[in-house]
Structure 1
Amino acid sequence: MSDRLLDLYDAVLADLDGTVYRGGEAVVGAAESLDVARERGVVVRFVTNNASRAPLAVAAHLTGLGIAAQPGEVSTSAQAGAALVAQRLDAGAEVLVLGTDALAAEVAAVGLVPVRAHGDGTQAVLQGLSPELAWRDLAEAAVAIRAGALWVACNVDRTLPTERGLLPGNGSLVAALRVATDREPLVAGKPAAPLLTEAIRSAGAERPLVVGDRLDTDIAGAAVVGADSLLVLTGVSTALDLVRAGPDERPTYVAADIQAITESAATLEIGPKAGWDVRLTADRRVEVSGDGDPLDLLRALCATWWDAGSGPPAFAVEHPALAVLGLTGPR
């Protein structure tokens, strides 16, 4: 049996921001790699925590970047959030929407009534990211939540990766409402199960692979639904974050970018790698020796350090490859 990654899975559930593109720029090789997946009969789903755009707009954005995509291949946290609210309310209930018109449209699509201000009929608050969101919107939501309205957050991503760098994500605004209301929302997007569960269902997948750039959403979400995962280093999470990751945020594979889905699974898997020797000293410092691909060192280092515990490792000698990975030297 081939050990190519695409031969081991029947669906690729790819995150968007930081994985397939960064703002208005496609990640190099993303289009070609996803085309290869389709050619091999692997279903592609674009699974995004970003709730600001409808699937049609997401597909159009991808197509404009040269990445083939159909609206039916897109699963958003807006869809998952609206579905989560609909499961708990009767048809026709009013839902205060904090987000874009696309999010409001998802609410209407599941038989609920989107509103923009709190009133006597408000039964839920659905919160997603919008660049136009203002203090008065948060104020309306705070009043509704304190009055007992169901609160659902499409996602709790603290940051949003763009070509300009990391910008405030929906989670930053959710945090503001947490402080203002002393309440906790239900969460639809990754790492909670609803979004990935629906993407797996729509793909008809039995062996899905989750591909993403964030340990706390993409990789943790894969763990929640029992799926294998590939961390790519084109977005938020760094090599240092990976080494320090707790048990619920540890991927099956790690790679520089999404092009790795066409490579050998054994090469990408976390574990010992030829050319590198990683071991712990008696005082729990990490000794590294050898030469080769720094990412292979990262894979071997994670396997050794995760077996020993968690937190940031201390290195007995600062091997040059560690600096390449950003694990030693100035940070």
Structure 2
Amino acid sequence: MLDRHDAVLLDLDGTVYHGPQPIPHAAEAIASARERGTRIRFVTNNASKAPDAVAEHLRSLGVAADVDEVLTSAQAAARVLREHLPEGAVVLVVGAGALAAEVDGGGLRSVRKAGDDVAAVVQGHSPKTGWADLAEACIAIRGGALWVASNTDATLPTERGLLPGNGSMVAALKAATDREPIVAGKPQPPLFLAAAESAGATSPLVVGDRLDTDIAGAVAAEVDSLVVLTGVATPASLLAAIPAERPRYLSADLTGLDGKADELEIGPRPGWRVEPGDAALVVTSDGGHDSLELLRTLCAAAWRHEITAVREGDDASAGALAELGLT
């Protein structure tokens, strides 16, 4: 894999860690990639932490990281604001202090209350966001202010499971204002393109756990992607993936970075037969036992035939489908 790709653009939540908990094997896989000379970039839609805080958090989990290797959606949102606003313009911030710092550091002026001078609203994830914050943003947006969202992830993977993400808060303001924000982070391509440029990469690999942000962003940026099953994506969601959200490679976790690209690529794999039947894909074993090999085969068949239902054709396939949660 790393002979084929000269940089790895890593999602964080759900890919490298779940909040304060490291995902098993992630640190070792990243260290191994570095030893092979592969450049690493950490690309996160979470706008609640500054790049130096993200790097420090990674180091606390045993992952080597420099601040220059971190790209956040807060940085992307600040860039969008600078493209649309004159220097010194007032921006109402809904989100963490890290987002406000990016606004102020870019020559704009952050505030927390709506007023006649507010030119834009920028919204990023913060666990402290409440009704009063959304109310101020609603007033400004209804008053004609530009609206930029750092990302629209509906959920945020944590060690306790999926919790409301920035997209859930954005949805509330959509309902209240009948407006749509400009989205700065994933799945829009600029964040990945900036990461690839900073790494000097010509053949980057995006790695993430979400089809609607990580993989969709890679597809939009026209770069290859590897989906891991340590966060949001599931076997069922992979079978149902639309063309704009389909990865090239599939792995259980980041250990796939040490694997052979051809073996991780989604497509027919030895040991399994998948044929379209009446409203379902019929799976039989041809000596196969590896459930991930079956999933790669199933994805290729589901995408080709536009069939997501599956059923077993023998005992071996029944066991593999059960492991994948597809019975």
The bucket for the TM-score relative to the shorter chain is over 0.9
Q: How does 1:285-300 map to 2 (within 5 A)?
A: 285-290=280-285, 291-300=288-297
Amino acid at match of 1:200: A
Secondary structure of the residue aligned to 2:86 is: coil
Q: Distance in 2 between matches of 1:89 and 1:61?
A: 33
CA apart distance, 1:23: 1.1
Cα deviation, 1:134-164, whole Å, max 9, x if unaligned, reads: 1111001001001111100000000000001
Amino acid at match of 1:18: G
Q: Distance in 2 between matches of 1:182 and 1:62?
A: 38
1:142 aligns with 2:141: no
Equivalent in the alignment of 1:304: 301
Secondary structure of the residue aligned to 2:311 is: coil
Cα deviation, 1:32-60, whole Å, max 9, x if unaligned, reads: 11112112221100000000000000000
1:103 aligns with 2:106: no
CA apart distance, 1:309: 1.4
* Match for residue 18 of structure 1 among 11, 14, 23: 14
Cα deviation, 1:221-247, whole Å, max 9, x if unaligned, reads: 100000100000000110100011111
Secondary structure of the residue aligned to 1:302 is: helix
197-206 or 221-230: bigger deviation: 197-206
1:325 aligns with 2:321: no
Equivalent in the alignment of 1:202: 198
Amino acid at match of 1:289: T
Cα deviation, 1:290-328, whole Å, max 9, x if unaligned, reads: 122100000001111111115x32426472211110111
Equivalent in the alignment of 1:60: 56
1:71 aligns with 2:67: yes
- Asked if the contact 2:91–2:120 (Cα under 8 Å) also holds between the matched residues in 1, the reply is yes
Secondary structure of the residue aligned to 2:2 is: helix
Q: Distance in 2 between matches of 1:197 and 1:123?
A: 27
CA, structure 1 residues 314+273, in 2 after alignment: closer, same or farther (shift >3 Å)?
closer
Amino acid at match of 1:155: N
What 5-or-longer segments of structure 1 have no aligned partner? none
Q: Distance in 2 between matches of 1:284 and 1:100?
A: 48
CA apart distance, 1:275: 0.9
Q: How does 1:1-331 map to 2 (within 5 A)?
A: 5-281=1-277, 283-290=278-285, 291-310=288-307, 312-315=308-311, 317=313, 319-328=318-327
Relative to the length of structure 2, the TM-score reads: 0.96
- Asked if the contact 1:196–1:221 (Cα under 8 Å) also holds between the matched residues in 2, the reply is yes
Q: Distance in 2 between matches of 1:319 and 1:256?
A: 20
4+ residue segments displaced more than 6 Å: none
Secondary structure of the residue aligned to 1:96 is: strand
Percent of aligned pairs sharing the same letter: 58
Q: Distance in 2 between matches of 1:123 and 1:324?
A: 52
Cα deviation, 1:77-127, whole Å, max 9, x if unaligned, reads: 000001111110000000000011111000011110011111111000000
CA apart distance, 1:199: 1.1
Amino acid at match of 1:86: R
- Asked if the contact 1:26–1:65 (Cα under 8 Å) also holds between the matched residues in 2, the reply is yes
Q: Distance in 2 between matches of 1:78 and 1:157?
A: 14
174-183 or 272-281: bigger deviation: 272-281
Q: Distance in 2 between matches of 1:203 and 1:98?
A: 31
Secondary structure of the residue aligned to 1:114 is: strand
Q: Distance in 1 between matches of 2:24 and 2:32?
A: 14
Q: Distance in 1 between matches of 2:312 and 2:64?
A: 47
Q: Distance in 2 between matches of 1:161 and 1:109?
A: 29
Q: Distance in 1 between matches of 2:267 and 2:326?
A: 18
Amino acid at match of 2:319: P
**Two-structure CA RMSD over aligned residues (Å):** 1.1
Amino acid at match of 1:179: A
Q: Distance in 1 between matches of 2:303 and 2:96?
A: 41
- Asked if the contact 1:159–1:167 (Cα under 8 Å) also holds between the matched residues in 2, the reply is yes
Aligned residues: 322
What 5-or-longer segments of structure 2 have no aligned partner? none
Q: Distance in 1 between matches of 2:94 and 2:138?
A: 11
- Asked if the contact 1:285–1:316 (Cα under 8 Å) also holds between the matched residues in 2, the reply is no
